[in-house]
Chain A
Amino acid sequence: MSSAVPTTVVAVVDAARRRLRARYGAALVSFGAPLVAGICVALVALTWVTPWVWPQTAAAAVVVISVVGWLWRTLRQPISRLGAASVLDRRCRTHDALGAGLVEVERADAFGAAIRDRAVAAAEATSVPAILPVRLDVRRLLVALALALIAVAGLVVPNRHDEARAAAAAEQRTIAAATEELEDLVEELGDEPLAEETADQLEALLAELDGLDDIDTALEELRTAQSQLDLATPRSHLSQRAATSGLERSLDAQPLPGAASGAAADQLDQLSRSMEDLTAEETAALADRLDALAATQAAGSPAVSAAMAAAADAVRSGDLGAAASALAEASAAHRSQSDQVERGDTAARAADATRRAAEDLAEHGEGGQGQGQGQGEGQGQGQGAGQGRGGGQPSGEVAGSTGGTGAGQGGQGQSGQTGDNPGARGEEPEVAPPLEGEGFGDPLDLAGAAGGEPGAVVGEGDTRSGPGVITRSQAETLAEFADRAAEALDSLQLSPTDQQLVARYFEHLNEEAQR
């Protein structure tokens, strides 16, 4: 006696399942289509009375979500074989013949055989399409169709708010284009362990800018973010950076006695462990070297400087244990300082990228048409910050001291008129980047001094300056100048006082740039 469900029964029940699914889908359509179409009409109507962009998007989303939801719900609707068999049993009044045929299939007694026979007989007498016809509610669908046509017509026929929406969309694209560099930077920073905080700040900024369709608001967001990023860069960042990189370069060029070439912190660590192995000459040389290095670190990295000076004193006094301890302390301080410098670099990069994005946006704003009313106030010392957009006929004025670059706020442009607003946007002083390589020009013939030979070369001059020299913004080149200064401090035998003077000068420039 077979224990499998008869194929006739399975075929009928499976056909019923398909029919039930189709009926479920049809019922959903009949119920949902007028509802969805009505929502779309309401959303399209909003586009006729407001300049909002989102109703069009929302209408499209409602349609897509409804279709996907309908498909998903219809296909995922659980319809079991027993359930389908029960539906047929109820409608055909077969007293659960099909249902029993499915679930009592394992019985091997007389009842089992009778149940199977009865199920087969019921299946053979059942016409699934006749019992479970798939019907759509035509009236409701016609209503849905009419509403859909109204919605489409409302979208296709131009209305008075279309221009405003187009302008907003253009601004949205402009903002998106201006922030592309920021997005790239966020991706880049994702791989750097010390840049997590900055990356989070940038991500938050991008989230704010996402979907924004107003350039003024975007500019405000960008400048706020830039200020925050600037604050994240310590004022002494450049001197710290100079000190840190200077120490690395110095030790790379001339490793410490008893230490192999490598990173500064590693050399210091290595030396702290091998103090006992140094000869008397090496010890004396080490003390002098540590003193010299401590002097170079005094301005930018006081902790390292103090530890090195302490190590030098300990070496001179013959207390090798204290010297080793001080060297380890110097190594740790240098590592910490390096991390801080790296974080500062990251913040500076982010601030720079944010500033460029803001500039791009401001430039787009200037290119617009409109009527502007500008207000501005200049600041001396050749540095300025400001914001503005929109051309137009300016009625504002910029007041500034001689030699300064004006900084101010320009009015917001309105369409209809053209013009420009020269005082609308703050400018940043531009300077020439530091020299690359040797960078000296051709020799010049100068009149010889008394007693000299006519035509003798008495000096060399730098001939690069003048028209045609490439200039860049001060903020971009400041770090390069600081590096050059750090190198110079390393290579020149300047007194600590002079070195501090140079470091403070760059700190001052950095503070001004941040301001």
Chain B
Amino acid sequence: MSISIDDYADAADAIIAEIGSVIVGQADLVRDVATCLLAEGHLLLEGVPGLGKTELLKVLGRVTGLEFSRIQFTPDLMPADIVGTDVLYQDDAGNRSFRYEAGPIFAGLVLADEVNRASPKTQAAMLEAMQERSVTVGGVTRDLPRPFLVMATQNPLEMEGTYPLPEAQLDRFMFKTVVPYPSADELEEIVLRTTGVGRADVSEVVDTARLAELVSFTRSVPVPLHVGRYAVDLVHRSQPATTAVDAVKDYVRFGASPRGAQALILGAKAVALMQRRPSVSVEDIRAVAPSALRHRLVLGYEAAADGVAADDIVDALLAATEAPGEGEAGA
């Protein structure tokens, strides 16, 4: 593997800088996007319409050189519209046969726009693709190109015409990032940039092959035992049956799954490398914890009644879970 930590960090910086040339502000959002890209994890962006979610992902497609595909999720979207289907084909000689027509899922970077506007049945069509990175149609399983990333956007559930994503699908997103409303200064710059005649020119900074190398390099980062244990501890404490954290006991119905721990570690690996460090630290785990855990916590009605959000639970978990070296008596 002809890649070093500095190469990796340089590539990450270049990606972030290129995205930043189009997207104003949103540093945390861009960092999460880059993290998911380098860890080959799926990303769910949540925010009200008009915050540039789709634009961000389109830019990402151009920057990485990945084959880009966009699926606009609507209530009448069918699973076959995503994964493709066998169609009856007749050749010039009049012979008829079924031939598979691949769906838009066959791309390196799939933008699932407004994913929560489709019915759960259609959303479920994404499950195999997101987890196995393959698609099975008519009894035939076909691999998807690698790297394969699903970047989905969704509007908040309170908005009209949205369906909640099934927990199984939510769990397959490595990160869920909430897109914040831009500040006044950022909004001013957005308005000025997007209302002129010109358009920001975005160039490809990594090709598909290089991106695959970066993804592979991410996985090779060592995780010190005590750091890995901290990540597991965080996830374990999110389980209401076994936790000692009051907020979890009171408001959480189901805690984070093992995929949550995997997302924590994988995301932390990418963050460590982006910061030119050769191993994962507790701070890396903490940095990615909100994005990796917030969509994996299933809250109860008590949380809604008390106005407690998943981010509040994650904050409580981070506060209650002592990192190695924080309690000096037991050092």
Contact = CB atoms under 8 A, between A and B. Distances in A.
Contact of B279 (A79, A82, A84, A104): A104
B331 A86 contact: yes
Given A90-B323, A95-B284, A104 B328 contact: no
**Central interface residue in B221, B227, B272, B279, by most chain A CB within 10 Å:** B279
A110 B4 contact: yes
Interface in B267-292: 272, 275, 277-284
A357 interface: no
14 contacts: A24-B328, A27-B329, A80-B331, A82-B324, A83-B324, A86-B323, A89-B324, A90-B282, A93-B283, A95-B277, A95-B284, A100-B224, A103-B224, A109-B220
A202 B324 CA distance: 58
Interface in B82-104: none
Interface string A98-115: 011001100101111011
Interface of B: 4-5, 220-222, 224-227, 272, 275, 277-284, 323-326, 328-331
A273 interface: no
A23 B327 CA distance: 12
Interface string A116-140: 0010000000000000000000000
Contact of A118 (B225, B277, B324): B277
Given A104-B279, A111-B278, A87 B331 contact: yes
Contacts of B326: 90
A89 B278 contact: no
B325 A88 contact: yes
A12 to B, nearest CB: 14
| Interface residues of chain A: helix, strand, loop or mixed (majority) | helix
Contact of B325 (A27, A90, A104): A90
A85 interface: yes
A17 B331 CA distance: 8
B331 A96 contact: no
Q: Indicate the member of B5, B221, B226 with the most A CB atoms within 10 Å.
A: B226
B278 A77 contact: no
Interface of A: 17, 20, 23-24, 27, 77-80, 82-91, 93, 95-97, 99-100, 103-104, 107, 109-112, 114-115, 118
Contact of B331 (A27, A79, A115, A118): A79
8 smallest beta-carbon distances between A and B, as pairs: A86-B325, A83-B331, A114-B278, A95-B281, A86-B324, A96-B281, A100-B279, A87-B325
A160 to B, nearest CB: 46
A112 B222 CA distance: 9
A86 B284 CA distance: 14
A59 to B, nearest CB: 29
A17 B325 CA distance: 12
Contacts of B222: 100, 104, 107, 111-112, 115
A23 B331 CA distance: 12
B224 A99 contact: yes
A109 B217 CA distance: 12
Given A96-B224, A103-B225, A104-B222, A85 B279 contact: no
A73 to B, nearest CB: 11
A111 B328 contact: no
Which of B224, B227, B272, B284 is the most central at the interface, judged by chain A CB atoms within 10 Å of its CB? B224
Given A83-B325, A90-B323, A114 B5 contact: yes
B278 A84 contact: no
A110 B273 CA distance: 13
B224 to A, nearest CB: 5
Nearest to B1: A110
Contact of B324 (A27, A78, A99): A99
Given A95-B277, A118-B277, A85 B220 contact: no
Contacts of B281: 89, 95-97, 100
Nearest to A80: B331
Contact of B278 (A17, A88, A118): A118
Contacts of B328: 20, 23-24, 87
A112 B283 CA distance: 20
Given A100-B279, A104-B279, A89 B331 contact: no
A20 B324 contact: no
Contacts of A80: 331
B226 A86 contact: yes
Contacts of A103: 224-226
B166 to A, nearest CB: 37
Contacts of B324: 82-83, 86, 89-90, 96, 99
B4 A111 contact: no
Contacts of A27: 329
A438 to B, nearest CB: 86
A75 B179 CA distance: 52
A95 B226 contact: no
Contacts of A104: 222, 224, 279
Nearest to B285: A96
Contacts of B226: 82, 86, 96, 99, 103
Nearest to A24: B329
Contact of A77 (B272, B279, B329): B329
Nearest to B220: A111
A111 B221 contact: yes
Contacts of B272: 95
Contacts of B330: 78, 83
A88 to B, nearest CB: 7
A96 B329 contact: no
Identify the interface centre among B275, B281, B283, B326: most chain A CB within 10 Å of its CB.
B281
A342 B328 CA distance: 67
B140 to A, nearest CB: 40
A409 B281 CA distance: 85
B278 A96 contact: no
Contacts of B4: 110
A20 B277 contact: no
Contacts of A107: 222
A86 B275 CA distance: 20
A112 B4 CA distance: 13
Contacts of A89: 281-282, 324-325
Given A86-B325, A107-B222, A95 B283 contact: yes
Contacts of B329: 24, 27, 77
B309 to A, nearest CB: 28
B217 to A, nearest CB: 10
Contacts of B283: 93, 95-96
Contacts of B323: 86, 90
B7 to A, nearest CB: 11
Contacts of A20: 328, 331
Nearest to B325: A86
A106 to B, nearest CB: 10
Contacts of A114: 5, 278
A258 B324 CA distance: 90
Contacts of A91: 325
Contacts of A96: 224, 226-227, 279-283, 324
Nearest to B277: A95
A118 B281 CA distance: 13
Nearest to A85: B325
Contacts of B325: 83, 85-91, 99
Contacts of A100: 222, 224, 227, 278-279, 281
Contacts of A115: 222, 278-279
B279 A111 contact: yes
A79 B325 CA distance: 11
Nearest to A104: B222
B236 to A, nearest CB: 19
A111 B220 CA distance: 9
A84 B5 contact: no
